């Protein structure tokens, strides 16, 4: 299918702008940067993706009827877009605006390519262009940029971003436990197709682009200061990085002490130097020592070899009252995961815009990730979920979702709270979440484990090509900080369920990606063996503290009694017992109770409001003697036999003449009248009776239910005799 790139018509004041269209889905992307960088900048690249309601032909459903803050979906797409671009020395803002959506083509791939085109057309310097495609796998066949319908039946949802010369820039995938060879093949096919998009962007930039501006890199430390810093601190830093007895806290304290001492000496030697130049000089030296230690000596700061895992400990059933729980410890990364069950009514409801744009429906499995400040021994403000927490939680959720049975009768919420962090907390969340699910008795198809692979490279000074590299299994936080890649992969013993690759380089060869997958697969299997020693399969039964769900049958004749007027009985049931009731069909209801005792209480409540003496079998078309129990404005309430719940005989069925009130016919409470029985209404189960029909000559069968022996087979009933009843 054809993807169109255009520029020069919209948002022409921006440094760069482009419109990307696939089918009838269109995204406009703008790129604007500051003309001068400043040392105070912390995040040089800001990406915001917004999907407007008008693009889907809808009006926002909030009380203001306008777009408010970013949704989770918009934040996650913004993170995916931002992972493709490295602008380390100039503040740049990329805004992606969804112009139109056809419900067939997803706009996120268009936004990635639009950002690449906008930067290529601008005067902003960067290492581009980048091209991106989505790869699906349907019936063993790879599909490039599948439609929404194709994606719903695809075993793979892989986003591949590539650079020129078949380099990989970013990977993000959700997979239905597919085999490693199929996954690798999909990556290769995706990278191949990104080259066509890159060529198109290069051609557009050649025709419409402008000369790139020259930007002074203020963050580059002077060579003289760097050399003097190396002379002062090299041996001290080397000693810390080669001392495997250090843990995260002690290593950070030792390096920070050396930093402060070195900066004081640098101030004396270079009194006119800016503070950030001194700090950056120390960072350059520390980074070089750390990286060369791995590249040249094959050593890691904690004493492991390049492919070894940290020590792993697992524990389940942490607290009795939890539906499921697990503690996963990998080195100094510690994660507590819990599982909570609730009714299907508690599923995440999609807003109309997300449904129209991406076809997202209600979600009954979710994973929420929390990273409190104490996890890294810091003091920080505890607020709502930030972008990092949202992204890490989404990755762990994608890792676990393929093993959740689709017909599970509960909504499942997994929480992952990082108690200690020293690298790869998202993959620890996947491991801990898998154990917690099995502890809760969820019949998962298999256990899931995840691991992060790092990369240290040596690049040529002239061309920037990778000359040498080392892949690291189960990276520490400092290895992530000083390294070039965070390659997170999760899956089962059989295959892969999730992947996310973040790079600090302009791109890496496919060869390195394939090796990383192979190394991650070996580590994943080793982790699963350790996890299986704690809990090898799901518990056969849910815990006693867990919820209960039952299906009850309510005949149409009792539905009004069960629901009550204005759903009063149903609301009372849910308020008093804490259960949740969902209607499955006309006569079937699902009752969810948070505890077995609540279900027992609900069952007694339902039996009480629905109990009735054995109902007499009434004959369709027969005439019965009814007793008036109450006179209302709309009609009279009558009983056909003792202990029967009175039913309404409406004014329209009392007499052939139109009346506004039963008193017009002189009725009184306790008076007996004859009515004809026409069965029950098929929609609401109400008993259908009529007195009016008896006022015309007809052959009738009169039955007296109070005296079963008194059965009269009669002829015609005259109008005068019936009207006198």
Q: Nearest-CA neighbor of 674 among 634, 633, 712? A: 712
Residue 337 has pLDDT above 70, yes or no: yes
For domain 312-532, the CATH superfamily is: GHMP Kinase, N-terminal domain (3.30.230.70)
Whole-number Cα distances in Å, 262 to 171, 291, 354 = 40, 20, 53
Least confident segment among 169-173, 359-363, 623-627: 359-363
Residue 164 has pLDDT above 60, yes or no: yes
pLDDT tens, 37-86? 655 444 578 899 998 888 888 888 778 888 888 888 888 889 888 887 76
Whole-number Cα distances in Å, 658 to 563, 652, 661, 672, 692 = 32, 7, 9, 21, 10
**Sequence-separated (6 or more) residues with CB below 8 Å from residue 37:** 44, 89, 90, 91, 215, 216, 217, 218, 219
Query: Whole-number mean pLDDT of the chain?
Result: 87
Q: Nearest-CA neighbor of 496 among 175, 69, 193, 53? A: 175
The fold for domain 3-208 equals Ribosomal Protein S5; domain 2 (3.30.230)
Q: What is the pLDDT of residue 615?
A: 57
- How far is residue 436's CA from residue 323's CA, in Å, rounded to a whole number? 9
Residue 206 has pLDDT above 60, yes or no: yes
Of residues 7 and 1, which shows the higher confidence score?
7
pLDDT tens, 638-687? 998 887 878 899 999 999 888 889 988 889 999 999 999 998 887 767 78
pLDDT tens, 169-189? 999 999 999 999 999 999 999
Q: Which helix (H) or strand (E) holds 450?
A: strand 449-459
CB count in 10 Å sphere of residue 453: 26
Burial category of 357 from C-beta neighbours within 10 Å (exposed 0-12, middle 13-18, buried 19 and up) = buried
Whole-number Cα distances in Å, 529 to 93, 224, 434, 601 = 45, 52, 13, 44
**Sign of the four-CA dihedral 458, 459, 460, 461:** negative
Using only C-alpha atoms, the chain has a radius of gyration, in whole angstroms, of 35
The two beta strands, 45-51 and 92-100, are parallel
Whole-number Cα distances in Å, 597 to 400, 547, 579, 604 = 31, 10, 11, 11
- How far is residue 108's CA from residue 49's CA, in Å, rounded to a whole number? 9
**Sign of the four-CA dihedral 421, 426, 431, 434:** positive
pLDDT category at 711 given cuts 50, 70, 90 is: very low
CB count in 10 Å sphere of residue 590: 17
Are the folds of 3-208 and 312-532 the same?
A: yes
Q: Which residue's structure tokens are 């995040």?
A: 43
Whole-number Cα distances in Å, 226 to 81, 217, 223, 230, 636 = 34, 16, 5, 6, 99
- How far is residue 515's CA from residue 485's CA, in Å, rounded to a whole number? 13
Q: Nearest-CA neighbor of 131 among 165, 91, 95, 182? A: 165
% residues pLDDT > 90 (the chain): 56
**Sequence-separated (6 or more) residues with CB below 8 Å from residue 720:** none
- How far is residue 524's CA from residue 528's CA, in Å, rounded to a whole number? 6
Residue 352 has pLDDT above 80, yes or no: no
- How far is residue 292's CA from residue 235's CA, in Å, rounded to a whole number? 14
Query: H helices within 122-247, ranges in order?
Result: 148-152, 180-208, 223-241
Q: What is the pLDDT of residue 217?
A: 65
Domain-wise residue ranges, the chain: 3-208, 223-297, 312-532, 548-610, 623-723
pLDDT tens, 111-149? 999 999 999 999 888 887 999 999 999 998 999 999 988
The fold for domain 223-297 equals Arc Repressor Mutant, subunit A (1.10.10)
Q: What is the pLDDT of residue 360?
A: 65
pLDDT tens, 691-703? 998 886 544 455 5
pLDDT tens, 394-444? 999 999 999 999 889 899 999 999 999 998 899 999 999 999 999 999 999
DSSP 8-state assignment for residue 310: P
Q: How far is CA 105 from the centre of its chain?
A: 20
Strands (E), 566-690: 580-583, 588-593, 623-631, 635-639, 647-650, 672-680, 687-690
Whole-number Cα distances in Å, 571 to 56, 432, 547, 562 = 36, 38, 20, 10
The CATH number of 623-723, from 1.10.260.40, 3.40.930.10, 2.30.30.40, 2.40.50.140, is 2.40.50.140
For domain 548-610, the CATH superfamily is: K Homology domain, type 1 (3.30.1370.10)
């Amino acid at each position: 299918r054809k993807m169109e790139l255009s520029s020069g018509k919209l948002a022409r004041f921006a440094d760069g702008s482009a419109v990307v269209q696939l089918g009838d889905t269109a995204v406009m992307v703008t790129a604007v940067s500051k003309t001068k960088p400043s040392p105070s900048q912390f995040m040089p690249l800001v990406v915001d993706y917004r999907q407007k309601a008008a693009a889907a032909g809808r009006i926002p459903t909030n009380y203001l009827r306008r777009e408010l803050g970013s949704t989770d979906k918009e934040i996650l797409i913004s993170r995916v877009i931002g992972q493709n671009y490295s602008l380390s020395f100039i503040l740049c803002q990329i805004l992606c605006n969804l112009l139109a959506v056809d419900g067939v083509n997803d706009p996120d791939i268009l936004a990635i390519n639009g950002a690449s085109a906008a930067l290529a057309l601008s005067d902003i310097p960067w290492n581009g262009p980048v091209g991106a495609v989505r790869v699906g796998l349907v019936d063993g066949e790879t599909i490039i940029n599948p439609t929404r319908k194709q994606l719903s039946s695809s075993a793979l949802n892989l986003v591949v971003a590539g650079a020129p010369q078949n380099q990989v820039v970013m990977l993000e995938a959700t997979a239905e436990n597919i085999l490693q060879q199929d996954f690798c093949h999909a990556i290769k096919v995706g990278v191949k197709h990104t080259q066509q998009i890159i060529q198109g962007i290069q051609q557009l930039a050649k025709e419409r682009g402008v000369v790139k501006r020259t930007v002074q890199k203020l963050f580059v430390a002077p060579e003289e200061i760097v050399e003097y810093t190396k002379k002062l601190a090299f041996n001290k830093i080397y000693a810390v990085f080669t001392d495997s007895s250090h843990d995260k806290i002690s290593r950070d304290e030792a390096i920070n002490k050396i930093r402060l001492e070195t900066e004081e000496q640098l101030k004396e030697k270079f009194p006119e130097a800016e503070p950030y130049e001194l700090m950056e000089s120390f960072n350059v030296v520390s980074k070089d020592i750390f990286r060369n230690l791995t590249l040249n000596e094959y050593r890691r700061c904690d004493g492991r070899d390049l492919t070894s895992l940290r020590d792993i400990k697992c524990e389940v059933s942490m607290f009795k009252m939890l539906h499921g729980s697990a503690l996963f410890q990998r080195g100094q990364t510690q994660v507590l995961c819990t599982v909570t069950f609730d009714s299907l009514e508690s599923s995440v409801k999609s807003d109309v815009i997300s449904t129209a744009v991406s076809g997202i429906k209600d979600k009954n499995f979710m994973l929420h990730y929390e990273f409190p400040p104490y996890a890294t021994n810091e003091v920080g403000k505890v607020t709502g979920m930030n972008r990092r927490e949202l992204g890490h939680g989404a990755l762990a959720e994608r890792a676990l979702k393929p093993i959740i049975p689709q017909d599970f009768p509960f909504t499942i919420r997994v929480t992952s709270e990082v108690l200690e962090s020293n690298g790869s907390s998202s993959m620890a969340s996947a491991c801990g979440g898998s154990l917690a699910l099995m502890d809760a008795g969820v019949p998962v198809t298999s256990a899931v484990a995840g691991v992060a692979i790092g990369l240290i490279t040596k690049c040529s000074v002239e061309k920037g090509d990778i000359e040498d590299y080392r892949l690291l299994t189960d990276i520490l936080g400092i290895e992530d900080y000083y390294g070039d890649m965070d390659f997170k992969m999760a899956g089962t013993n059989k295959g892969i369920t999730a992947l996310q690759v973040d790079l600090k380089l302009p791109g890496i060869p496919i060869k390195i990606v394939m090796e990383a997958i192979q190394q991650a697969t070996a580590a994943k299997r080793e982790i699963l063996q350790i996890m299986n020693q704690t809990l090898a399969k799901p518990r056969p039964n849910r815990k006693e503290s867990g919820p209960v769900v039952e299906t009850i049958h309510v005949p149409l004749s009792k539905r009004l009694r069960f629901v009550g007027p204005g759903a009063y009985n149903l609301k009372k049931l849910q308020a008093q017992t804490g259960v949740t009731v969902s209607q499955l069909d006309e006569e079937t209801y699902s009752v969810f109770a948070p505890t077995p005792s609540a279900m027992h209480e609900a069952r007694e409540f339902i039996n009480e409001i629905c109990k009735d003496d054995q109902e007499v079998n009434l004959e369709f078309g027969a005439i019965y003697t009814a007793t008036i129990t109450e006179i209302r404005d709309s009609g009279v309430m009558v009983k056909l036999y003792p202990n029967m719940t009175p039913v309404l005989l409406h004014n329209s069925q009392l007499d052939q003449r139109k009346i506004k009130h039963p008193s017009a016919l002189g009725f009184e409470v306790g008076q007996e009248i004859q009515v004809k029985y026409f069965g029950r209404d098929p929609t609401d189960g109400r008993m259908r009776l009529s007195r009016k029909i008896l006022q015309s000559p007809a052959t009738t069968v009169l039955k007296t239910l109070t005296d079963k022996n008194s059965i009269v087979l009669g002829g015609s009933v005259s109008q005068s005799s019936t009207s006198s009843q």
